[in-house]
Amino acid sequence: MARSYSGVVLFLLVALLVFAGYLFYQTQQEPNGQRPPSSAVTVKTATANVEPLLRQISALGTGIANDSVQLIASSSEYLTYLNIIEGQSVQQGDIIARLNDVEQRARVAELQSQLEEQKRQLDRLKNLAATQATAQSMLDEQQTRVNSTVAQLESAQSRLDQMTIKAPFGGILGLRRVSQGAYINSGSVITTLDDISTLRIEFSVPERHIAELAIDMPLSIANVAYRNTEFKGRIKAIDPRLDPVTRSVRVHGVIDNNDLRLRPGMLMNVTVTLTNQDALMIAENALVPLQNRQYVYKVGEDDRVTEVQVEIGQRIPGWVEIIDGLEEGDEVIIEGVQKVRDGVLISRVE
């Protein structure tokens, strides 16, 4: 009985070993008869191809007034007249404020009276000179007096004009900084004046796009206050100088703002439409970001991958432009990038 039991146990052990060997053999085979080495990582790949691309530049810009000034007092005097309503539209030449100008008016009136008298004396001397009853030197002296008084009158009139602050252009008045009747010092700000019927947008463009920029190039502008509204503008000016730190150029765009919805200081999302041209494109999920650099895993002829740093350009949904680092036809990993490292062996899946 013991011998029969031992035979059964031995038979079961042999059968178990045979089955285990069979399983091991099966794990070493693929359905097609060969399995890649156990070190190969299964990934999905794609090639970099040249595709048509509508090139656009996205940038953050700031709204600035087309014209903007601070209206200041030119002299230290009492403020006798103030015509400021915050946010009010004014036209060019409208009187905004007036300083106490009694002394200046009196001086102008005095010089005007002197000038009239001196001109009458000059006319009399000219009549006498015609009959040679007076010397030419007296005529010249009187002409000099007239010229001197004219110069003094012009200077006094200029000082009188400066006592009245007028709008240098049409625009919107800002907040009032002073009160009527106050004594203000020379250089004190009375209010601000901004022309925002046309709004300027200032933004920066990287150096590599300078050759593609041109005056009157179309702009698309958006602001968080008007999420569903797209404003249209155009490039007005391009700074001839580049920022030596950021290697970018400042650009000014203009946009019609007659409805006054946009204001100076607003943050603008600016999109510049360049040209429709061919570009080297890869799937966006092939990128491996590291700090401020971008990498991809490029597959070599021996199915081993190499980590390559690339310079990217424009992004569109699901795709990214490659400016430098790859060539057309290069094979890159687009799925499974988390599983690979530089130099590993890969196997492809459809």
- Planar angle of CA 249, 254, 255, nearest 5 degrees: 140
Q: Quick one: tokens of 43?
A: 């990934």
pLDDT greater at residue 134 or residue 94: 94
pLDDT at 205 over 90: yes
pLDDT greater at residue 21 or residue 263: 263
Torsion angle of the four alpha carbons 100, 159, 174, 258, in this order, in degrees rounded to the nearest 10: 130
Give the list of residues 6+ apart from residue 268 with CB closer than 8 angstroms, or none: 60, 61, 62, 63, 201, 203, 221, 222, 223
Average pLDDT over every residue of 195-200: 93
State how far the Cα of 18 lies from the Cα of 275, in Å rounded to an integer.
Answer: 70
pLDDT of residue 276: 72
Query: What band does 36 get if pLDDT is binned at 50, 70 and 90?
Result: very low
Torsion angle of the four alpha carbons 212, 218, 221, 227, in this order, in degrees rounded to the nearest 10: -120
pLDDT at 125 over 90: no
pLDDT greater at residue 216 or residue 274: 216
Average pLDDT over every residue of 23-36: 50
Report in angstroms the alpha-carbon separations of 61 from 185, 196, 339, 344. 37, 16, 40, 45
Q: Per-residue pLDDT tens for 183-196?
A: 999 999 999 999 99
pLDDT of residue 163: 92
Q: Per-residue pLDDT tens for 285-339?
A: 999 998 889 999 999 888 899 999 999 988 888 889 999 999 999 999 999 888 8
Do 336 and 43 touch, CB atoms closer than 8 A?
Answer: yes
pLDDT of residue 31: 44
Poorest-pLDDT segment among 8-22, 102-116, 315-329: 8-22
Average pLDDT over every residue of 213-227: 91
Look at the block and give the residue holding tokens 């890649």: 36
